[in-house]
Structure 1
Amino acid sequence: MIMDIVTGLTKIFVAFIGFGVVAGIVFGGNAFLVGDVLENLLGVVSMLGDAGIVGLLVAAILIGLLK
């Protein structure tokens, strides 16, 4: 039961991130409820890239969790 709740919340958050990226591209960074999703996402990707092998491992774990 708890895993179903966590899975549902994860799907909602991933969908919101996708919506934020698309809305940020279409309407710009100041769109309502979007904020700086693109900047934050690019910051996370940059941070993982700067971390080297640890960043690669974290990215692999995140991809595995989201599948």
Structure 2
Amino acid sequence: MPEQLNDLAAVEHGPLAALLTADQGEIAAVEVFLARPIPPAVGHGATAELRDGSKLFINHVR
């Protein structure tokens, strides 16, 4: 397994970086799961809140 896949921050931030790179101004806020005091059961990922009020959940489960 590549070393980078053992780094939880790299695993979590990879999909988030792709989302933010493709953003055309629709993302209002992002919450990274590892930054929470108690991460959710899914493990790694982020929630992106869009300007229209909808939410996009990005998860990585091993």
| TM score, norm. by length of structure 2 | 0.29
Rg larger in structure:
1
Structure 1 or 2: more helix by fraction: 1
Structure 1 or 2: more strand by fraction: 2
| TM score, norm. by length of structure 1 | 0.28
